[in-house]
Amino acid sequence: MVVLRLLVRLVSFLLLIVLALIGLGVAVAAVDPAGVTGWIGLPALRDSVGGWFDDLEASGPVALASALGGGAAMLLGLVLLAGLLIPRRERLVRLDTTSHGTLSARRRPLAQVATHLVEQTRGVAQARVKVKPRRRSGGRLRVRAERPRPAPASETKAAITSQLEDLTGPFKLKASVQTRVGDRGSRVQ
């Protein structure tokens, strides 16, 4: 995202320069049209690119290159739009709203709390939690936990879900739990 924003800034700056130069050209052309067309060599340009336009109409490498160029330009446009339109602010997870105010949290600390709770569950060796906020309030906790081979997945999932109730219960948080058998070296709580 940072790269997209930098790209948008750079392209915006370059486009401003191009726009300024075009404006200057239009102003000069308004004062002396014949001089400008002669200076930039419009008649010669027409002769030189006329053949290229003929190639463009026919199927062949020039047409293919121009189609690829068009596609790339559209892609660049989409990238620039994404850089402009995707919101800059990190979306917070709104946990609780009352008439007295709101309790919200960044995703990382919330995931940290959830991970801490999950790793206290009996039979869980290691866990990773990702938090996805909902637009209005609450969010979704995606838990991936490692369990030892003998422990049934359903039991571990139930234990994790129960363990997370301290966090999901008071707020509009929904947990989805996935477990997998951990590596031999992983330590079990």
- Asked whether position 108 contacts other proteins by CB under 8 A, the answer is yes
DSSP letter (8 states) at residue 172: T
How far is C-alpha 11 from the geometric centre of its chain's CA atoms? 19
Among 80, 113, 153, 181, binds other proteins (CB under 8 A): 113
Judge whether 146 and 127 are in contact, CB under 8 Å: yes
- Asked whether position 140 contacts other proteins by CB under 8 A, the answer is no
Q: Which two tokens stand for residue 133?
A: 């906020």
Judge whether 105 and 92 are in contact, CB under 8 Å: yes
Cα angle, residue 163 at apex, residues 99 and 93 outer, rounded to 5°: 35
Among 49, 170, 178, 186, binds other proteins (CB under 8 A): 170
How many CB atoms are located within 10 Å of the residue 151 CB? Answer: 18
Cβ closer to other proteins: 66 or 97?
Answer: 97
Q: How many residues bind other proteins (CB under 8 A)?
A: 22
Cβ closer to other proteins: 127 or 151?
Answer: 127
| Window contacting other proteins (CB under 8 A); options: 2-10, 54-62, 108-116, 132-140 | 108-116
- Asked whether position 105 contacts other proteins by CB under 8 A, the answer is yes
Q: Looking at this protein, which amino acid is placed at residue 155?
A: E
- Asked whether position 112 contacts other proteins by CB under 8 A, the answer is yes
- Please, which of residues 68-97 interact with other proteins by CB under 8 A? 89-90, 92, 95-96
Burial (CB < 10 A; 0-12, 13-18, 19+), residue 177, is buried
Contact residues: other proteins, CB under 8 A: 89-90, 92, 95-96, 99-106, 108-110, 112-113, 116, 166, 170-171
